[in-house]
Amino acid sequence: MASLPKRIIKETERLVTDPVPGITAEPHDDNLRYFKVTIEGPAGSPYEDGLFNLELYLPDDYPMEAPKVRFLTKIYHPNIDRLGRICLDILKTNWSPALQIRTVLLSVQALLASPNPNDPLANDVAEDWIKNEQGAKAKAKEWTALYAKK
Amino acid sequence: MTQMKLPATTISRNFIDNPNYEKEHSETNDSPNTSTFTLTDDIPNHRDSLINQDSEFEIEDFMYSDDDFEYDDDYNQTYDSMLTKPVKRSSKKELSEGAVPNLSYEILTTQDIFENMLARVDHLQPIFNMPREDILLLMQHYDWNEERLLENWTERMEELLVEIGVSQADVRPTDINVVKDTDEINTSETKIERGITYKEGFNCVICCEEKDTQTFSLECGHEYCIDCYRHYIEDKLHSGNVITCMDCTLALKNIDIDSIMGHNSSKKLMTSSIKSFVQKHNKNYRWCPYADCKCIIHLSDTSSLAEYTRLHYSPFVQCDTDHRFCFNCGFETHAPADCNVTNAWVKKAKKESDNLNWVMSHTKECPKCEVNIEKDGGCNHMKCSSCKYEFCWICEGDWAPHGKAFYQCTLYKNDENSKKTQNDELSKTMKKYTFYYRVFNEHEISAKLDWKLGQTIGSKVRALQEKMDVSWIEGQFLTDSIKILNEGRTALKWSFPVAFYSDASHNLTKIFVDNQSLLSKAVEDLSELLQIKEPEEIMKKRLEFYNKSGYVENRMYALMECGRDLLCKGICKPTDQIFK
């Protein structure tokens, strides 16, 4: 494997020495660009008390290109589809090289705290969310208990 | 920029093929009137030669008698019709312009559009009262939509400036994104200037490398090494969007981009921005569909397009490099077929097994000695190079009856078909389609070969000039002929889809097929004539060139009108069901 850019080494180091509360990110032994990530469901959200597994991959062109992030744990969320893909602007058009792994993960956590059903990725979930917010949140809670048990 | 209306340009187009024209008239290129003056030397010449030849065409002498004739636009047109009298170009106009409003369009390039935008920026400058570079950013951000920009501008000026990144928000952007241990930004609290500086031991937060390097920053103070900035901009140049600082919304202006990336890089950005503008406004703008052609057709008034569709006309336009295409569907000129027929036909052709059809239409076995033959140009009169058998490329029958007798090759022979397959309806329609597809394809290939022939026509004209002492303008009959051959071939080609989708039992369809045969014969004749290589022979047959190309043109418009009739009356319906 080509040598790892200093930027990635530095970010990895800092994720270990100065971790973000509620988030862990560990590089894979075989591929230092591949991270195993866990995010705790934010307090006060239907995802509270859940622990979600994600994968994060830094493409060759990182930091010019955004990292690829995907949920591995099933989650009921209007901006996350069945395959775990996330609809988040900074992962697509609004990516900036000044952002980092930690900021991305913080944004994902923030997305869990405040879903945006008006810009959905999972259409059925978003529809449910708009029509019957209480019911949708209950279902999200149910799924959290079912799939994201700590 | 060429502001054009159809009649006025016909004459100037004739000059495109003259290699010296550009050189001679580069200073006066933009004025149509000046180009007419260059013709005056040739007028008497041209007239004399026509008259001396006892031409069968009527030439109205009074047009020439007036020495003080004013060279205005009218003259331009009059002269145009005189020049092309033998081929009766005016008949085209009567046909295509009588019923539907004339299409008036501009031919542009991205550069033209950009200059147009620059002019608009200049126009806006007094309103905004800020540097042109900044207005350019605003325009770019608003997809060059002046109205929307002005509207938002009056409503919320300050916010807009911050939003688009022209000016900074009062509050310094919080640097949550910056790695803590690099205090580079916080140390330089004093007023920061935009631009490139050289720093020793600079620690860039993007690549995390510490090195002596040039750095760039905007007024926001987000400073990164020049390599990271270059990499960052390179990726964004093709998107056409405003490029901002990597860490905030402050925008990079074109001068910044040029200073980082080197000369002219911002041009790339502007071009891609204009490209996306064209793409977004595809109702009014359309790229010329031909490969490598950079022309954009701008139709400012699209209200007449509906009328075109209703009457089964197609809004054909022609770009600066003589590519003709349909503004509506973006396909090549497809008269007599309309856009629906074209679409259905093209889709169908894609569905059928291409490979088989390709092989079928590219090679044929000599009907006599079975050697494989590929047609590489010329008319359909084939002579096998191995057994010398003369046959017709289309029906593969003996050529002898074709020469003088009525040309039958465009007729679909039903009886022959029923001989082989009695009840199998599916294979019958398949066969019918295969037949039409084959003729369509053959004409397409021929058209391509004709096009290649057309590329050599310039040298033929030059040969005429050198060997036969013929003036350039007189040699133009060759160029005109090849143009008409191309048009005729295209029309013929697209008449087969119309015939295919038409109700074969209807009388009008029969008339249409007859018209096809006539045009087919006319096109083959002209094609054969254009194969002549010797300049002497060409000059001898000049009148024949005029006659034959005139005939092709007339037949072509007759066929187009007939096809339109079929469409208007609903006899030709592009449905897939009948043929499944």
Q: What is the pLDDT of residues B356-373, one digit of tens each?
A: 555 566 677 777 776 667
Assign B169 a pLDDT band (cuts: 50, 70, 90): low
Of B178, B208, B231, the CB nearest to A6: B208
Distance of CA B200 to the CA centre of its chain: 55
B5 pLDDT above the threshold of 60: no
Q: Which helix (H) or strand (E) holds A52?
A: strand A51-57
pLDDT tens sequence across B236-256: 888 888 898 988 888 888 889
Q: What is the mean pLDDT of residues B215-231?
A: 90
B294 pLDDT above the threshold of 60: yes
Of B209, B235, B246, the CB nearest to A98: B246
Task: Choose between B10 and B571: higher pLDDT.
Answer: B571
pLDDT at B98 (0 to 100): 47
Task: Choose between B144 and B403: higher pLDDT.
Answer: B144
Q: Residue A61: its chain B contacts at CB < 8 A?
A: 235
B349 pLDDT above the threshold of 80: no
Amino acid letter at B299?
L
pLDDT tens sequence across B473-511: 777 888 888 888 888 888 888 988 888 888 888 888 888
- The residue of chain A with its CA nearest to that of B209 is A6
CA atoms of B225 and B132, how far apart (whole Å): 28
CA atoms of B473 and B41, how far apart (whole Å): 10
Which stretches of A18-132 are DSSP H helices? 101-113, 123-131
φ/ψ region of B148 (left if φ > 0, alpha if ψ in -120 to 50, else beta) reads: alpha
- The residue of chain B with its CA nearest to that of A63 is B206
Q: What is the mean pLDDT of residues B227-237?
A: 89
Count, residues in chain A:
150
Q: Which helix (H) or strand (E) holds B317?
A: strand B316-318
Task: Choose between B105 and B33: higher pLDDT.
Answer: B105
Query: B179 and A14: CB-CB below 8 Å?
Result: yes
pLDDT at B381 (0 to 100): 74
% of chain B residues with pLDDT over 90? 2
φ/ψ region of B363 (left if φ > 0, alpha if ψ in -120 to 50, else beta) reads: beta
Task: Choose between B306 and B67: higher pLDDT.
Answer: B306
- The residue of chain B with its CA nearest to that of A14 is B179
Query: A96 and B206: CB-CB below 8 Å?
Result: no
pLDDT tens sequence across B115-127: 888 888 888 888 8
Beta-strand runs (E) in B73-229: 104-108, 195-203, 210-217, 224-225
pLDDT at A110 (0 to 100): 93
Give SS3 for B303.
coil
B552: its two tokens: 């092709």
pLDDT at A72 (0 to 100): 94
φ/ψ region of B346 (left if φ > 0, alpha if ψ in -120 to 50, else beta) reads: alpha
In whole angstroms, how large is the CA radius of gyration of chain A?
16
pLDDT at B378 (0 to 100): 64
CA atoms of B566 and B323, how far apart (whole Å): 27
Query: A97 and B208: CB-CB below 8 Å?
Result: no
Task: Note if the pTM is more than 0.80.
Answer: no
Q: Residue A13: its chain B contacts at CB < 8 A?
A: none
Residue A149 pairs in a beta bridge with A50
Catalytic residue among A56, A87, A88, A112: A87
pLDDT at B466 (0 to 100): 80
Of B176, B209, B247, the CB nearest to A96: B247
> Running DSSP on this structure, what letter comes out for residue B251?
B
- How far is the alpha carbon of A102 from chain B, nearest alpha carbon, in Å? 9
Chain B contact probe: residue of A96, A101, A106, A107 with most B CBs at under 10 A: A96
Query: A103 and B178: CB-CB below 8 Å?
Result: no
pLDDT tens sequence across B35-64: 333 333 333 333 333 333 333 343 333 344
Considering only CA atoms, which of B245, B281, B297, B277 is closest in space to residue B140? Answer: B277
| Residue whose structure tokens are 């405040």 | A114
CA atoms of B415 and B436, how far apart (whole Å): 16
B166 pLDDT above the threshold of 60: yes
Q: Residue A5: its chain B contacts at CB < 8 A?
A: 207-208
Q: Is B156 exposed, middle or buried (0-12, 13-18, 19+ CB in 10 A)?
A: exposed
Give SS3 for A119.
coil
Of B205, B209, B231, the CB nearest to A64: B231
% of chain A residues with pLDDT over 90? 57
Lowest model confidence (mean pLDDT) among B29-38, B273-282, B416-425: B29-38
B68 pLDDT above the threshold of 50: no
- The answer to whether B289 and B331 have CB atoms below 8 angstroms apart is yes
Q: What are phi and psi of A71, to 5 degrees?
A: -75, 135
Q: Residue B232: its chain A contacts at CB < 8 A?
A: 64, 97
pLDDT at B441 (0 to 100): 84
Amino acid letter at B208?
C
pLDDT tens sequence across B420-458: 444 455 556 667 777 888 888 888 888 888 878 877 877
- The answer to whether B27 and B7 have CB atoms below 8 angstroms apart is no
Lowest model confidence (mean pLDDT) among A82-86, B54-58, B134-138: B54-58
Query: B206 and A7: CB-CB below 8 Å?
Result: yes
- Cα–Cα distances in Å, from B27 out to B13, B31, B109? 18, 9, 20
CA atoms of B522 and B71, how far apart (whole Å): 37
Chain A contact probe: residue of B179, B180, B227, B252 with most A CBs at under 10 A: B179
pLDDT tens sequence across B386-411: 777 888 777 777 777 665 544 556 55
Residue B213 pairs in a beta bridge with B199
Q: What average pLDDT does chain A have?
A: 90
Assign B576 a pLDDT band (cuts: 50, 70, 90): low
CA atoms of A20 and A39, how far apart (whole Å): 10
Q: What is the mean pLDDT of residues A20-26?
A: 91
pLDDT at A33 (0 to 100): 92
- How far is the alpha carbon of B203 from chain A, nearest alpha carbon, in Å? 11
Assign B313 a pLDDT band (cuts: 50, 70, 90): confident
B559 pLDDT above the threshold of 50: yes
Q: What is the mean pLDDT of residues B152-170?
A: 77
Query: A6 and B207: CB-CB below 8 Å?
Result: yes
Q: What is the mean pLDDT of residues B138-145?
A: 85
Considering only CA atoms, which of B329, B326, B318 is closest in space to residue B4? Answer: B318
Assign B14 a pLDDT band (cuts: 50, 70, 90): very low
**Positions of B marked active-site:** 379
ipTM: 0.82
CA atoms of B225 and B211, how far apart (whole Å): 9
